[in-house]
């Protein structure tokens, strides 16, 4: 027999004072009520009820066990109510991960729109270039740049991730603008700190920039150095879109840029999505998905 059901019936007998009243309350036969009580007593190895022809009363062990059953059943009911509430609307803590540039320049500025639409959702946003383990770290979703490895994740394609090479007008006035990748050899090229040597500024076979005076693992830091005239920067379009639009940075070598990189929103497969996860997926696809 189901243990929780037997506990419910036992508490019902204690409250109603008889098997007959409990049977009516649970729509069971009196015999079935007796079987539930007998199952518990056999499991516990102790009598729970003192039985008379007219009424049942709890034994000392029965009183203690009945109180504990009440607490357990209350916790179960609370857990079920909480689960049903979460299924009925977006609520709870949403944990997401995104690359630094995308997360800070695009996702974070739009998150207030999502949170205003879902006031019962709180958000933990981790910005990092580290490839997080979505399942192991308990994330609801993550943004990934580049080719995806085969996995059990569901992947929703987003608008591709483009790069741009740019420099401040003051730098170009002093050093001139490169016309081809071969010209990079006479320019200061600001480096991303974790670029592999074989990737660094490899626009074509002729690209051979000199060692950089400044390197960083952060696109915002590289952008600030470029804005201050310290060299050329190769950054995500989203990081410098505003500065290019207002003329503080000038795009260069547009015919030699690296190919667009795929961008995906991933989330676990095989578990039923909660409303908060579904609502976030819909939000990201709406704002950043392929049109």
Instruction: For the chain, 291 residues long, give each residue's pLDDT as a single digit of tens.
Output: 688 888 888 888 888 888 888 888 788 898 998 898 899 888 889 888 887 656 678 888 888 999 999 899 888 877 776 666 555 578 889 999 999 889 988 999 999 999 999 999 999 999 988 888 888 888 999 999 888 876 778 899 999 989 999 999 999 999 999 999 889 888 999 988 766 554 567 776 656 677 788 988 888 899 999 999 999 999 989 889 999 999 999 999 999 888 888 999 999 876 567 889 999 999 999 999 887
Task: Give the chain's domain count.
Answer: 3
15 lies in the same domain as 142: no
82 lies in the same domain as 101: no
Domain termination residue (choose one: 27, 59, 87): 87
How does DSSP classify residue 212?
P
Instruction: Give the domain range for residue 227.
Output: 163-256
CATH number at residue 233: 3.40.190.10
249 lies in the same domain as 271: no
Q: Which class for 159: exposed (0-12), middle (13-18), buried (19 or more C-beta within 10 A)?
A: middle
- How crowded is residue 98: how many other Cβ atoms within 10 Å of its Cβ? 23
- pTM for the model: 0.61
201 lies in the same domain as 140: no
Domain termination residue (choose one: 60, 87, 114): 87
Domain termination residue (choose one: 87, 106, 134): 87
8 lies in the same domain as 152: no
Tell me which H or E stretch contains 96. Answer: strand 92-98
Q: What are phi and psi of 269, to 5 degrees?
A: -95, 150
**In whole angstroms, what is the distance from residue 27 CA to residue 103 CA?**
56
């Amino acid at each position: 027999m189901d243990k929780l059901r037997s506990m419910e019936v036992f508490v019902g007998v204690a409250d109603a004072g008889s098997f007959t009243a409990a049977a009516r309350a649970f729509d069971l036969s009196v015999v079935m009520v007796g079987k539930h009580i007998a199952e518990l007593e056999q499991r516990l190895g102790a009598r729970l009820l003192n039985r008379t022809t007219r009424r049942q009363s709890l034994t000392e062990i029965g009183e203690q066990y009945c109180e504990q059953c009440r607490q357990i059943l209350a916790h179960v009911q609370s857990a079920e109510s909480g689960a049903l509430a979460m299924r009925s609307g977006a609520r709870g803590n949403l944990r997401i991960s995104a690359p630094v540039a995308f997360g800070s320049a695009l996702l974070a500025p739009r998150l207030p729109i999502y949170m205003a639409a879902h006031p019962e959702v709180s958000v933990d946003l981790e910005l990092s270039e580290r490839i997080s383990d979505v399942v192991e770290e308990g994330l609801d979703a993550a943004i990934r740049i580049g080719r995806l490895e085969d996995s059990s994740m569901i992947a929703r394609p987003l608008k591709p991730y483009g790069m741009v090479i740019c420099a401040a007008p003051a730098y170009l006035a002093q050093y001139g603008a490169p016309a081809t990748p071969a010209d990079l050899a006479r320019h200061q090229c600001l480096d991303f700190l974790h670029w592999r040597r074989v990737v660094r500024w490899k626009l074509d076979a002729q690209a051979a920039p000199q060692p950089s005076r400044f390197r960083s693992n952060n696109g915002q830091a590289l952008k600030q150095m470029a804005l201050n005239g310290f060299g050329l920067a190769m950054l995500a379009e989203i990081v410098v879109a505003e500065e290019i639009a207002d003329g503080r940075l000038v795009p260069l070598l547009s015919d030699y840029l690296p190919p667009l990189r795929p961008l995906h929103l991933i989330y676990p497969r095989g578990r039923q999505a909660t409303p908060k996860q579904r609502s976030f997926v819909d939000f990201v696809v709406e704002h950043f998905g392929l049109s």
